[in-house]
Amino acid sequence: MTDILIIGAGISGLLAARELAGAGLSVRVADQGPVGRESSWAGGGILSPLYPWRMPEAVTALCAWSQRSYPELAAELLETTGLDPEWRQSGLLVLDPEDCARADAWCEAHSVSWRWGEPGILEPQLADVSAPAILLPEVAQVRNPRLLQAVLADVRRLGVKLEEHAAVTRLEMHGGRVVRASTESGYFEAETYLVAAGAWSARVLSDLVPGLPVEPVKGQMLAFQASPDLLGSIVLAEDRYLIPRRDGVVLCGSTVEHRQFDKTPDEAASRLLREFAVRLLPPLRKAPVVGHWAGLRPGSPDGIPFIGAVPSIDNLYASCGHFRNGLTMAPASARLVADLILGRPPIVVAEPYGVASRG
Ligand SMILES: Cc1cc2nc3c(=O)[nH]c(=O)nc-3n(C[C@H](O)[C@H](O)[C@H](O)COP(=O)(O)OP(=O)(O)OC[C@H]3O[C@@H](n4cnc5c(N)ncnc54)[C@H](O)[C@@H]3O)c2cc1C
């Protein structure tokens, strides 16, 4: 029998699969759609919370661990799969640091380097911004669709079985344990089950953890094709951002909408994002829009994910609710859930993420 069935093939499920298969377990991952095509694909790939000083410590702890491990993860994936997730420290320029005293204190306390910068000197193509901005030079980004492709290739290499178009409709219980995960056309059996179903996790767990506060939060993104030298760093203002990719694509994100499971991109959001992007970086007026999409973030209270054992059930775990920072937190989150499943000492104190304490 398979040692572990993971429900959900986003970055949370796939990196957990990589950890567990790397530890010698037999792993199967079931996804309701094609693998790696939901929030983890739709996201921007900024490897930091937008305003890190506004985050609870529980989020900061996972972000910090992940930020340290990303360069090695990206290098390992490139070596084992030949696919480059394009991890690079492009820096984050914050144009509206109205809470700069807090930012200063937070950076000092967390040994994060930052400095004041003149936006017009750092990024000459930006519209005139008179106030100085905060530059976090070590903030990195990853090209998340490529990261997913690389992780997928790597888990295949490690022998993980991937089941596409296999929506788990029910977790069947017997004697205080999950005994099978049913789908429309059959079922999967495993010793242990991990729910990493992103915005759908509360649905998957609805019988066993009623009221788990994980809900879909829609985010829309726009992509421009510009020239590679137009913008160097990620730029943040008014909770929106521009992300320059190596090949000149500039992403603009994002909206934050509560629309249940509707992830249709719409004209109004496209206009809003385009106006923001052009106001901040006027040359984008002439750049063609080459993409517009939406994804469903797994929203949770304060953005703190649920990671750990489901109370009173011997063999069921969850890793979900990563909200706006799931790509950033993914390596730490995957390691933590693997530690808990395997009975290893956890990389961070696990209590703040407990399903029992906040479910
Ligand atoms: C517009 C946008 C921008 C973002 N930008 C960033 C950013 O810059 N940096 C950052 O850190 N984070 C960002 N995020 C957040 C980040 O993308 C998410 O937190 C993260 O991807 C969540 O990963 P996940 O694996 O938990 O969920 P997902 O990637 O959504 O994966 C869940 C998987 O579970 C599957 N599934 C669901 N139900 C079932 C079922 N019943 N049976 C089987 N499979 C099922 C789904 O099909 C899906 O593949 C952004 C998100 C959006 C939408």
The string of DSSP letters for 276-316 reads HHHHHSGGGGGSPEEEEEEEEEEE-GGG--EEEEPTT-TTE
Work out the average pLDDT over 316-329. Answer: 98
What is the Å distance from ligand 1's center to 22 Cα? 23
Q: Given this model, what pLDDT does residue 357 score?
A: 57
For atom 15 of ligand 1, the residue with the nearest CA is 324
What is the Å distance from ligand 1's center to 187 Cα? 24
Indicate whether 141 pLDDT > 80: yes
Judge if 238 and 344 occupy the same domain: no
Q: Given this model, what pLDDT does residue 128 score?
A: 81
Judge if 67 and 151 occupy the same domain: yes
The CATH number that applies at residue 116 is 3.30.9.10
Judge if 129 and 66 occupy the same domain: no
Neighbouring-strand partners of residue 2: 190
279, 299, 319: which is the final residue of a domain? 299
What is the Å distance from ligand 1's center to 324 Cα? 9
Judge if 149 and 292 occupy the same domain: no
The answer, yes or no, to whether any atom of ligand 1 lies below 6 A from the CB of 45, is yes
Burial class (CB in 10 A: 0-12, 13-18, 19+), 85: buried
The answer, yes or no, to whether any atom of ligand 1 lies below 6 A from the CB of 298, is yes
Indicate whether 131 pLDDT > 90: no
Residue 267 · residue 273 · CB < 8 Å:
no
258, 280, 299: which is the final residue of a domain? 299
- Residue to mutate, 297, 320, 353, ligand 1, most ligand atoms under 8 Å from C-beta: 297
The answer, yes or no, to whether any atom of ligand 1 lies below 6 A from the CB of 43, is yes
Q: Could you list the residue range(s) of the whole structural domain that residue 350 is in?
A: 1-88+141-213+301-359
Judge if 53 and 133 occupy the same domain: no
What is the Å distance from ligand 1's center to 297 Cα? 6
The CATH number that applies at residue 320 is 3.50.50.60
Judge if 167 and 184 occupy the same domain: yes
Provide the 8-state DSSP code for 14. H
- Residue to mutate, 5, 15, 39, 148, ligand 1, most ligand atoms under 8 Å from C-beta: 39
- pLDDT bin (cut points 50, 70, 90) of residue 73 is very high
- 270-284 burial, b at 16+ Cβ within 10 Å, e below that, comes to bebbbebbbebbebb
Burial class (CB in 10 A: 0-12, 13-18, 19+), 236: buried
The answer, yes or no, to whether any atom of ligand 1 lies below 6 A from the CB of 327, is yes
Q: Give dist(CA 44, CA 74) in Å, integer.
A: 17
Q: Give dist(CA 197, CA 178) in Å, integer.
A: 17
Work out the average pLDDT over 53-81. Answer: 98
299, 315, 342: which is the final residue of a domain? 299
Distance of CA 254 to the CA centre of its chain: 14
Calculate the average pLDDT of the chain: 96
Indicate whether 99 pLDDT > 80: no
For atom 26 of ligand 1, the residue with the nearest CA is 198
CB within 8 A of 98, min separation 6: which ones? none
What is the Å distance from ligand 1's center to 202 Cα? 14
Judge if 79 and 227 occupy the same domain: no
Judge if 227 and 280 occupy the same domain: yes
Quote the number of domains for the chain.
2
This prediction has a pTM of 0.98
Judge if 79 and 163 occupy the same domain: yes
Judge if 164 and 292 occupy the same domain: no
In percent, the amount of the chain with pLDDT more than 90 equals 93
Q: Worst-scoring range by mean pLDDT, 130-139, 245-254, 276-285, 305-314? A: 130-139
